[in-house]
C-alpha cells in the first residue's frame, strides 16, 4: 500500500530470558506481530497456549515509561485461544498459535483436537517461525491507538520476558528446548501528512489486562473447605470484566514424569460440589452462590462470548473408574482419548480441565473478594485432582489512560 512499508525487525537484545525490540522509524501502525519459535530435539508446545507458552511477560514502553503490559502472557493466551469459535480455532488459530484447539469427531465418534498435537518442535532452524502473535491480544492499547509517532512517543520499544520452566512451554520435557530470537513485523508509515496528524494526539483511554492470584491450601477428604479471600490487585480500579481459572499448585502436580497430564499446568480444574460468589465493595455480585455448571458457564459466556472447550471440559465424575474398572463404549461417546489411543480404556484426563468462571463488573472496585467452597473427596490417584492445592489466577480488563505531550514522557494512570 502506498505510504506504508512492511519491516521485519530483529531484536537489538536477545537471550534465553529476554528480548528487546526498538522502533527507530518515524511512525508506525499498531498492527505489530511477533513471530515466535523454540528449538528442541523433540516434543510439542503446551497444548492450550501453543507457541505463546514461551512468553512470560510483555511490555510496551517509551524509554523507561511502561505504557501497556501483560503479565503471564502464557496463561492469558491459553484462555484467549479458547475464547474463540471452534471454526476459527480449527481453520486459522491453531495454525498461528500451534495450539490443539478446534475439535472434530473422528470415525469412531470421539473428539480429537486439530493443530500441532503430532508436530515436533523444530530441531535445526532457529530462524523459522512456529507461531505468530498479534500484539493487540496482549497489549490492548494497540486496538485503540492505531498510529504511533516516535517524536511524540520517543524511544518506543517492546520488551519480552520468557519462561524458564520447560514444563510451562512444552507438553513433553524429555528434551530441553530454547527460545529462538523472535522477529517483530511492523508497518512503518511514510506519508508525511499522516505522520504530521499523528503528532497531534493528546492521549488514549483503554482497558488494560491486569493479573492477580492466590493459593488455596490442600483440602481434607470429606470436609467442606470454604474460604473468603481478599484479592488486592484490582483495588481502586475500574474493572470491565474478569476471568478466573484454577490450576493445581504447584505446577509440577500437572506433570507425570516428563509429560503433561491432559492440558498440564494450563488446566483449569473442576472441583466437587463447588459454590462460588464474588464480593465487590462488600456486596455479593450474585444474590446467591453459583453452584450449577450450566449457570456458571452461561455467566461466563455472557461476559466473554464464545468458549471453545471439549464436551465435559467443565464437568466431573464422567466415565468409569479411572483406577481400572471396565468402561462400556456407551459411557465414552464424546470423551477424547488420552494419548490418541483408542485402546486406552480410561476416560481422558482432559475431562474437567476447562472449568473457568468470570463475569462483567463495569464498576470501580474498592475491595474485591472471592467466596469459594468445595468438598474434597477420597482419592488414591496422583495427583488428587479434587483435593490438591489450587492457584486461583485472575485476569481483568482495567481502565487506564495515557497522556502525550511533545518533548515530555507519557503520563500513564488509572481512570
One pLDDT digit (tens) per residue for the chain, 415 residues: 578 999 999 999 999 999 999 999 999 999 999 999 888 877 789 999 999 999 999 999 999 999 999 999 999 999 999 999 999 999 899 889 999 898 887 766 667 776 554 455 655 555 556 899 999 999 999 999 999 999 999 999 999 999 999 999 999 888 888 899 999 999 999 999 999 999 999 999 999 999 999 999 999 999 999 999 999 999 999 999 999 999 999 999 999 889 998 899 999 999 999 999 999 999 999 999 999 999 999 999 999 999 999 888 898 766 544 444 444 443 444 556 555 555 554 567 788 899 999 999 999 999 999 999 999 988 777 888 889 999 999 999 999 999 999 999 999 999 9
Query: What is the pTM (predicted TM-score) of this model?
Result: 0.93
Q: Write down the residue that cell numbers 502473535 correspond to.
A: 133
Element (H, E) at 21: strand 18-22
Q: How far apart are CA 241 and CA 305, in angstroms?
A: 12
Query: In angstroms, rounded to a whole number, what is the distance separating the alpha carbons of residues 75 and 56?
Result: 9
- What does the alpha-carbon distance between residue 148 and residue 144 come to, in Å, rounded to a whole number? 11
Phi first, then psi: give them for residue 200, nearest 5 degrees. -95, 0
Residue in 303, 279, 271, 273 with CA at minimum distance from that of residue 291: 273
Its sign, for the CA torsion 7, 13, 18, 21, is negative
Amino acid at each position: 500500500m502506498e505510504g506504508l512499508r512492511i519491516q521485519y525487525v530483529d531484536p537489538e537484545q536477545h537471550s534465553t530470558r529476554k528480548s528487546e525490540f526498538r522502533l527507530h522509524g518515524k511512525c508506525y501502525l499498531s498492527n505489530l506481530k511477533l513471530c515466535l519459535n523454540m528449538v528442541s530435539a523433540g516434543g510439542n508446545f503446551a497444548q492450550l497456549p501453543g507457541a505463546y507458552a514461551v512468553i512470560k511477560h510483555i511490555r510496551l514502553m517509551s524509554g523507561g515509561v511502561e505504557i501497556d503490559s501483560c503479565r503471564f502472557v502464557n496463561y492469558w493466551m491459553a484462555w484467549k485461544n479458547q475464547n474463540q469459535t471452534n471454526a476459527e480455532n480449527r481453520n486459522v488459530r491453531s495454525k498461528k498459535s500451534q495450539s490443539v484447539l478446534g475439535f472434530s469427531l473422528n470415525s469412531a465418534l470421539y473428539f480429537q483436537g486439530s493443530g500441532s498435537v503430532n508436530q515436533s518442535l523444530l530441531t535445526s532452524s532457529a530462524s523459522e517461525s512456529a507461531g505468530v502473535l498479534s500484539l493487540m491480544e496482549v497489549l490492548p492499547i494497540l486496538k485503540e491507538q492505531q498510529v504511533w509517532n516516535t517524536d511524540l512517543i520517543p524511544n518506543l520499544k517492546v520488551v519480552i520476558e520468557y519462561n524458564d520452566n520447560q514444563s510451562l512451554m512444552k507438553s513433553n520435557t524429555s528434551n530441553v528446548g530454547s527460545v529462538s530470537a523472535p522477529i517483530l513485523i511492523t508497518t512503518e508509515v511514510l506519508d508525511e501528512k499522516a505522520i504530521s496528524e499523528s503528532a497531534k494526539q493528546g492521549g488514549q483511554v483503554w482497558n488494560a489486562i491486569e493479573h492477580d492470584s492466590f493459593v488455596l491450601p490442600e483440602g481434607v477428604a470429606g470436609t467442606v473447605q470454604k474460604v473468603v479471600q481478599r484479592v488486592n490487585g484490582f483495588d481502586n480500579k475500574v474493572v470491565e470484566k474478569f476471568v478466573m481459572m484454577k490450576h493445581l499448585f504447584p505446577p509440577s502436580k500437572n506433570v507425570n514424569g516428563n509429560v503433561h497430564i491432559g492440558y498440564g499446568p494450563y488446566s483449569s480444574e473442576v472441583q466437587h460440589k463447588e459454590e462460588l460468589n464474588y464480593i465487590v465493595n462488600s456486596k455479593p455480585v450474585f444474590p446467591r452462590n453459583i453452584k450449577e455448571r450450566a449457570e456458571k458457564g452461561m455467566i461466563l459466556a455472557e461476559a466473554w462470548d464464545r468458549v471453545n472447550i471439549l464436551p465435559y471440559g467443565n464437568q466431573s465424575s464422567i466415565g468409569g473408574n479411572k483406577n481400572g474398572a471396565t468402561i462400556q463404549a456407551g459411557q465414552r461417546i464424546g470423551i477424547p482419548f488420552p494419548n490418541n489411543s483408542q485402546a486406552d480404556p480410561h476416560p481422558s484426563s482432559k475431562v474437567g480441565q476447562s472449568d473457568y468462571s468470570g463475569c462483567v463488573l463495569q464498576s470501580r472496585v474498592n475491595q474485591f473478594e472471592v467466596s469459594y467452597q468445595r468438598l474434597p473427596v477420597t482419592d488414591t490417584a496422583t495427583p488428587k485432582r479434587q483435593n490438591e492445592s489450587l492457584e486461583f489466577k485472575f485476569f481483568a480488563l482495567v481502565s487506564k489512560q495515557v497522556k502525550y505531550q511533545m518533548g515530555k514522557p507519557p503520563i500513564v494512570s488509572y481512570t
